[in-house]
Amino acid sequence: MTSLGSSSSSTTEYVVRVPKNTSKKYNIMAFNSGDKVSCSTWTQARMERDMSNRRIYGEEESTDGAGGSEFGKKQREEARRKKYGIITKEFKAEDQPWILKVNGKAGRRFKGLKKGGITENASYYIFTQCADGAFEAFPVHAWYNFTPQAKHRTLTAEEAEEEWGRRNKVVNHFSIMLQRRLREQERGEEDEEEGEKGGKKKKKKGGRGGDLRIHDLENDLEISSDESDESMGEDGEGKAKTKKDKGPKGKGKKKKNSDLEGFEDSDDGDFEGLEVDYMSDESSSEEEEPEKTKPNKGEDVPKGIDEMSDSEEESEEENKNEEEAKEEEEEEDGKKTPVQVEKKKKKDSSGESESSEDSDIEGEAASALFMVKKRTPPKRGGGRGSVGSSRTGSRPGTPSIDNAATSNTLRAAANKLEQGKRQTVVSSSETPAAKRLKMDPSPQSSSGKSTPQPVSGKSTPSSSDVQLTEDAVRRYLIRKPMTTKDLLKKFQTKRTGLSSEQTVNVLAQILKRLNPERKNINEKMHFYLTE
């Protein structure tokens, strides 16, 4: 102990040690004092690195092996990167952020981002006092700034924009998040039950979402949120139920009831009064039967008008289904009334695809996105089953004749439609605009497999304005001589909903049937018909 000369001062000396061989790396965990973090209150904590950036850095290896890959693609990409001097930073696990979870699931979550440059000019050391009074100094390896992560729901960017647009109209801001939550629950339930309540939930979704809104607009607006949130929701029904139970605060609940006329608290029987989109999925038609009973059992019985409109819609759907089936069997086009033409066309492919999917996948949810997602398994299964050859190393000697392939698919599709018809009585009533928009891509996607192109002279209509039929071709050829290329241009894939290969095949068959006369104009073979 040395004491300095000046009064009222005493100094104690401590030895300072810098231990050499620790494998432990010391890091700083910095919290904002506004977050009021006190480590002593932590009972349990878990920490792990946040590896979500790995896929950005580790360039995705796509399509190894046959389909879709190019020979020497990797080398070419590398050469290209070198040429342009693109240097991609490698993914260092050391530099990734930390995720800190305190006190288990119900506790707080923090994300810790590494602060760079702390060891550049000066070193930080941690001085701890040991039992023997000596100090030990450890160098600080890294500094992480931890920020708390929000546990409450937030709006996504699209929804925020939406709400911003409504800010002058919406009076009750508390219900915004409530409705969003309900929407998510419903979507989660869909996922879970695979559409058992699919139709109803969609209706429900349509119903909520805004306080002073007209139905149509509402439905339109919710499309984006639907699609963006589509992937959400492992939430089981139980969770949804509990949320509903405790969810809405008194104000919100009252508001909900008062604002949303005709909608009740129960799941059952909600939103039957909503306008139906005729493009709605038929897949839920299968579940519509059990579903139909449910609405009737609902606690608060839907109003009379709602029921009526519901049954109306259902009967309409029925009719459409039957017509669809008929079409499969007979010639098309002429019979359709103009009103139903568009709807039917859109429904056809969707219906076919769904009926085929029905058989493959029970109880599918009523959304095109599900259709798109689940398209691939049935497609593969269907395709293989229909053609019957397995993928082996054997080489194709001769090109396959489309006849066989398409007739198989036709048979398969016809069978499935039969099944579908038996099962489907009504389809769900969906939010009109949402479904319409979703259905639009579906014809394209599903037509590839599900829409059979019959060989034997029947051409099924696909959902579009221009259809690849014998009549249409005849009309063109009567008017003026055309080459095959011209004809193909007339039946563009985008409008007929067929892939280019199918178009070619079908066109070839039609031409065979028509047996037009040939003429060589400008060294090109033109076809024409004389009336």
Partner 1 sequence: MSVKGQDVDLTRAKQNTGVWLVKVPKYLSQQWAKASGGEVGKLKIGKAQGKTVVSFNLNEELTVVECSGEKVSSVRTPREHPFAIQAVGGQTLAVFTESPDKVALEGMVVHRAECRPAVTESYMKLKKLQIEESTKPLRLSQRLDKAVTTNYKPVSNHSHSVEYEKKKKEEGKRARADKQKVLEMLFSAFEKHQYYNIKDLVDITKQPVIYLKEILREIGVYNSKGPHKSTWELKPEYRHYEEGQEDEEKLE
- Which is nearer to partner 1, 246 or 391 (by Cβ)? 391
Region from 158-166, 180-188, 226-234, 398-406 binding partner 1, contact rule CB under 8 A: 398-406
37 binds partner 1 (CB under 8 A): yes
- Which is nearer to partner 1, 92 or 167 (by Cβ)? 92
| Site size toward partner 1, by CB under 8 A | 87
Q: How far is the CB of 423 from partner 1 (least distance, A)?
A: 26
Residues 163-202, interacting with partner 1 (CB under 8 A): none
Region from 170-178, 201-209, 340-348, 393-401 binding partner 1, contact rule CB under 8 A: 393-401
Residues 439-458, interacting with partner 1 (CB under 8 A): 449
Cα–Cα distance measured from residue 527 to residue 32, given in angstroms and rounded to the nearest whole number = 79
Determine contact, residues 199/280, Cβ cutoff 8 Å.
yes
Cα 434 vs. chain centroid, distance in angstroms? Answer: 13
Residues 344-363, interacting with partner 1 (CB under 8 A): none
Region from 46-54, 80-88, 233-241, 279-287 binding partner 1, contact rule CB under 8 A: 46-54
What DSSP string describes 398-412?
A: SPPPHHHHHHHHHHH
Region from 8-16, 147-155, 156-164, 423-431 binding partner 1, contact rule CB under 8 A: 8-16
Residues 293-312, interacting with partner 1 (CB under 8 A): none
Cα–Cα distance measured from residue 471 to residue 461, given in angstroms and rounded to the nearest whole number = 12
Cα–Cα distance measured from residue 74 to residue 436, given in angstroms and rounded to the nearest whole number = 42
Residue 253: CB partners within 8 Å, gap ≥ 6? 265
* CA contacts within 13 A on the Cβ side of 493: 13
**Coil, helix or strand at residue 233:** coil
Residues 404-423, interacting with partner 1 (CB under 8 A): 404-405
Q: Which of 387, 414, 488, 511 binds partner 1 (CB under 8 A)?
A: 387
Region from 216-224, 273-281, 287-295, 395-403 binding partner 1, contact rule CB under 8 A: 395-403
Burial, 71: exposed, middle or buried (Cβ in 10 Å; 0-12, 13-18, 19+)? exposed
- Which is nearer to partner 1, 9 or 515 (by Cβ)? 9
Q: How far is the CB of 317 from partner 1 (least distance, A)?
A: 30
Residues 482-521, interacting with partner 1 (CB under 8 A): 501
523 phi-psi bin (left φ>0, alpha ψ -120 to 50, beta other): left
Cα–Cα distance measured from residue 148 to residue 157, given in angstroms and rounded to the nearest whole number = 20
| CA neighbor of 198 nearest in space, from 165, 237, 159 | 237
Determine contact, residues 355/417, Cβ cutoff 8 Å.
yes
- Which is nearer to partner 1, 123 or 231 (by Cβ)? 123
Q: How far is the CB of 359 from partner 1 (least distance, A)?
A: 18
- Which is nearer to partner 1, 165 or 441 (by Cβ)? 441
| CA neighbor of 504 nearest in space, from 398, 402, 384, 352 | 402
Output the six-digit token pair for 106.
């119900």
Question: Which residue is it, tokens 């709400």?
Answer: 163
Residues 119-148, interacting with partner 1 (CB under 8 A): 121-128, 135, 137, 139-141
Nearest 5°: CA angle at 417, between 414 and 418?
A: 90
Q: How far is the CB of 415 from partner 1 (least distance, A)?
A: 19
Q: Which of 33, 293, 515, 530 binds partner 1 (CB under 8 A)?
A: 33
Beta strands in 402-516, from DSSP E residues, in sequence order: none
- Which is nearer to partner 1, 472 or 507 (by Cβ)? 507
Backbone angles phi, psi at 292, to 5 degrees: -60, -40
- Which is nearer to partner 1, 19 or 338 (by Cβ)? 19
Q: How far is the CB of 200 from partner 1 (least distance, A)?
A: 31
Return the DSSP state at 468: -
- Which is nearer to partner 1, 113 or 140 (by Cβ)? 140
Backbone angles phi, psi at 271, to 5 degrees: 60, 25
Cα–Cα distance measured from residue 101 to residue 91, given in angstroms and rounded to the nearest whole number = 24
Determine contact, residues 462/443, Cβ cutoff 8 Å.
yes
Q: How far is the CB of 83 from partner 1 (least distance, A)?
A: 17
Residue type, 260: L
Residues 87-116, interacting with partner 1 (CB under 8 A): 93-94, 100
39 binds partner 1 (CB under 8 A): yes
Region from 363-371, 372-380, 464-472, 487-495 binding partner 1, contact rule CB under 8 A: 372-380
Q: Which of 88, 242, 400, 415 binds partner 1 (CB under 8 A)?
A: 400
- Which is nearer to partner 1, 45 or 414 (by Cβ)? 45
Cα–Cα distance measured from residue 477 to residue 470, given in angstroms and rounded to the nearest whole number = 10
Cα–Cα distance measured from residue 477 to residue 342, given in angstroms and rounded to the nearest whole number = 26
- Which is nearer to partner 1, 143 or 271 (by Cβ)? 143
339 binds partner 1 (CB under 8 A): no
- Which is nearer to partner 1, 81 or 249 (by Cβ)? 81
Q: How far is the CB of 362 from partner 1 (least distance, A)?
A: 21
- Which is nearer to partner 1, 138 or 528 (by Cβ)? 138
- Which is nearer to partner 1, 137 or 514 (by Cβ)? 137
Residues 54-83, interacting with partner 1 (CB under 8 A): 63, 65-72
Determine contact, residues 506/498, Cβ cutoff 8 Å.
yes
Determine contact, residues 408/387, Cβ cutoff 8 Å.
yes
Cα–Cα distance measured from residue 317 to residue 427, given in angstroms and rounded to the nearest whole number = 6
Q: How far is the CB of 14 from partner 1 (least distance, A)?
A: 5
